[in-house]
Amino acid sequence: MASTHLERLSMGELLQFLRTAIRKRRAFGYPVGGWSSVISPLAAFLGEGIRLGCRVEKILVKEGKAVGIVTGGEEVKADYVIFAAPAFLLPSLLPLPKDYGKKLERIRPTAGVILDFGLGRRVSKIRDTIVTLEPPTLGWFTSNLEPSLVPPGRQLLTTFMPLELEELKEGARKALARLREVYLGIFPEIEKNILWERGFPTIVNGAELNIHQTRLDRPPVCTPIQNLFLVGDTTNAEGAGGEIAFNSALECVRQIEHTGGSACS
Ligand SMILES: Cc1cc2nc3c(=O)[nH]c(=O)nc-3n(C[C@H](O)[C@H](O)[C@H](O)COP(=O)(O)OP(=O)(O)OC[C@H]3O[C@@H](n4cnc5c(N)ncnc54)[C@H](O)[C@@H]3O)c2cc1C
């Protein structure tokens, strides 16, 4: 999602996105076996060194070099620190050069509400993205894309409505009610087959692709702190949304493998 406001939208970023989408000749894809088929092998590859459910409270810096992090009050030493959360959160974790820190803090994300349904019965065979314009929403029957996500005969539906960041706190409840109304209106069968539903406000893309946040403006993978890297959809890697995140991870690997991070200082 580039921007909910046309006057803020970067046409360059949009055209770049369209060029990639047209070249790929595919509207979208979904991992066979669900996201765990991507994440589980990665976790197995990383082995016991991986810790889940930890919040990084601080990034440790010694003589201008990142040397580790603090989580749960415990210091964890590291040769490299790769910050894979939205870049606007980085300034709260370590002292940064003033201009750089301010630039990161100004990054504007996109936002919206998500409403997921677990359904006891299959109510639609649609495999494409469902789009409504008034109000703007998106929907996917994710289990039609990947049946292994649900027990036989059941169905998953995930729906989304964009909101201005400023509306996220006050407007989420109303937006969720509207989103529910829209999808129950399109698919009346949903209502009597709901096993569970969950709705929540969320940040969607770390950086809105607006005229102030094009690739030229977003921060690079390298930071002013040696051995500290940024990865994720707020960086200046190519693409939109998740694609920026994947491309920035590849760029980060290139930097570490080929330069040991030294070119970044
Ligand atoms: C409904 C919806 C639909 C979307 N559809 C698409 C799509 O079709 N195509 C597409 O390309 N993109 C899509 N996106 C956007 C895509 O999900 C994001 O661009 C992508 O997940 C960004 O990945 P990331 O790794 O940069 O950040 P995230 O996935 O946001 O991961 C950052 C992680 O950092 C963690 N974190 C934050 N602070 C800390 C801390 N202090 N310590 C430890 N961890 C921390 C967060 O908990 C989070 O898990 C969609 C998003 C939503 C919500």
**How far apart (Å, rounded) are the C-alpha atoms in residues 56 and 33?**
30
Place of tokens 């039609």: 144
Which pLDDT does position 21 carry in this prediction?
84
The C-alpha angle 29, 33, 39, rounded to 5 degrees, equals 90
Task: List per-block mean pLDDT (blocks of 10 residues) for the chain, which spans 265 residues.
Answer: 76 89 79 90 87 93 96 95 97 97 96 97 95 96 95 97 91 97 98 98 94 94 95 95 94 89 60
Q: Residue 152: how many CB atoms within 10 A of its CB?
A: 6
**How far apart (Å, rounded) are the C-alpha atoms in residues 64 and 85?**
21
Peptide bond into 162 cis (omega under 30): no
Q: How far is the CA of 205 from the centre of ligand 1 (A)?
A: 7
**How far apart (Å, rounded) are the C-alpha atoms in residues 199 and 243?**
25
What value of ipTM does the predicted structure carry?
A: 0.96
**Which residue puts its alpha carbon closest to atom 53 of ligand 1?**
204
Give the binding-site residues of ligand 1, using a 6 Å CB cut-off: 28, 55-56, 84-85, 89, 114, 160, 202, 204-206, 232-233, 241-243, 245
In order of their start, the domains of the chain are 54-106+208-264 (3.50.50.60), 111-203 (3.90.660.50)
The C-alpha angle 66, 71, 77, rounded to 5 degrees, equals 40
Return all residues near 140 (Cβ < 8 A) that are at least 6 apart: 129, 130, 157, 158, 159
